[in-house]
Chains A and B, each alone.
Chain A
Amino acid sequence: MIHSALAVTVMLSLLTATLLSLASLPFAGWIVFSGSRFAGLLESTLTLTLVLPPAVLGYLLLVIFSPETPLGRLTERLLGHPLPFSFLGLLVASLLYSLPFSVQPVAQAFRQIPPATLETARMLGAPPLSTFFRVVVPQSLSGIATGWILGFAHTVGEFGVVMMVGGNIPGKTRTLSLKAYDDLLSMRPEGAWNSVLLLVAFSLASLFALNVVRGRSGRKDAAGLSRG
């Protein structure tokens, strides 16, 4: 059983972190560079799940995709099963839940790019999109990596959302954190230990990776400064 919970957790976290890293580029790009009046509003909206209680987010998703709503009926017809209580439903919930953790570091990295750099690119005739992909993104790799790691770690540790939306189905939507909870309540603490140890290992590895990424970018900045 530990294998299937581990498989669900790893698959869910890898997918969430990777998809969020991809999504964070346009989101953060628009927030930082668009100069739109609505950028602040979008940033607040994207950060909402940072403060929203996970169970509330889970409940909202259940309501939105309930079989009684048109959207719920539509997704059910398209997928052949309702979105909640499936791995895909878990993925959608995790994407929303971990969104701020992936977007914020990328937005921070974008903000730290000196305006002069962008100005130079513009003056040399680079179109905005190619400036974005050839100047902004390469200079923000450590921010993107940070976002990926945080998205991964945050998804591994999810509890309330996966409980509400996933339904704790063994082999399908039961993650390590749900398994730990389940084993404890089933008076099988020895089973919980495996999950707890794995969760601690994941968290430590993520934090270590975070430090490595930060250390690297720190050294690079220092090198850049001494050269400049």
Chain B
Amino acid sequence: MKNRTATRIALVTLLAILLSGSGPGVAMAAPPVLHVAAAADLIPVLPTLLKKFTAETHIPVRVSYGASGEEALAIRHHAPYDLFLAADALYPDRLAKAGLLDKSSIKTYAKGVLVLWVSRPFLTGPKTLPDLSLIEEISIRKIAIANPRIAPYGKATIDCLRSRKMWPRLRSKAVFGNSLAQVAWDLKTGSVFAGFLSKAQAMALSKTTAGGFSPLPAGCAPPLAQTLAVVSRSHHKKAALRLESFLLGKVAREIFQSHGYE
């Protein structure tokens, strides 16, 4: 009786170990699956792009979203990604210098626009768009910003507020989201009424949440040159380069533009 239980436990363990050796199935399927590490500002646009790409090439793509800094850390630790889509040019440059990305593959794929979002109750008139002076009002208690240490859009926000000498007064109002995705989520749930987003995220948010957004003045926040690059350790470089040239192509450019990129 005791022995049988022990045998059973041993068998289950063995079976489980064997199964784990082949991974939980899916990922190992026959055609190579491209793994993309993407900045969170791309959440509203990338699924549309990748659907088109996969329909054209039959190459399936999987995406992990996060702040550019998070994804860079993962690549630094040899995470099995094939292509890195960052929200700026700094992270890819730094990784390429360390030999982790193919330098020749670094290209700007889109220019991201930083916008200020204010939810409806705090916009004075029905058509008024927010401007920077609005967030200094007492009634707005919290402003959501992507973590400037790991998210390029967050860094651009702080740079702009600093150059306008607004940061010292606004610092105590700031709440930091891990990435733009979390900022958008805070605004969507109504826990925060003002925040700095990418234009693409703001356009997506306005479909479900009442509010308005306007781009920051270009002098304060110049468009972010978002760059991509192929990961040096990728085993699917050919497919990764195909995706890269698709994202740089005309079809993709139109989709990027219709989602708020320049």
Contact = CB atoms under 8 A, between A and B. Distances in A.
Interface of A: 3-4, 7-8, 11, 14-15, 18-19, 21-22, 62, 65-67, 76, 81-82, 84-88, 91, 134, 138, 167-172, 182, 184-187
Contacts, number: 99
Given A15-B17, A172-B24, A185-B181, A85 B188 contact: no
A124 to B, nearest CB: 18
B35 interface: yes
A187 B80 contact: no
B24 A7 contact: yes
A170 B63 contact: yes
Nearest to A172: B27
B43 A168 contact: no
Contacts of A7: 24-26
Interface in B70-91: 73-74, 77-80
Contact of B181 (A8, A18, A76, A186): A186
B64 interface: yes
Given A15-B17, A185-B181, A87 B24 contact: yes
A11 to B, nearest CB: 5
Contact of B12 (A4, A18, A76, A167): A18
Is the contact region of chain A dominated by helix, strand, or loop, or is it mixed? helix
Given A76-B78, A85-B74, A167-B74, 10 more contacts: A11-B19, A11-B20, A21-B9, A62-B77, A67-B78, A168-B66, A171-B24, A185-B185, A186-B43, A187-B204
A86 B185 CA distance: 28
Contacts of A170: 62-64
15 contacts: A4-B25, A7-B24, A15-B16, A18-B16, A22-B13, A138-B2, A168-B64, A169-B35, A169-B62, A169-B79, A171-B24, A171-B27, A184-B185, A186-B43, A187-B188
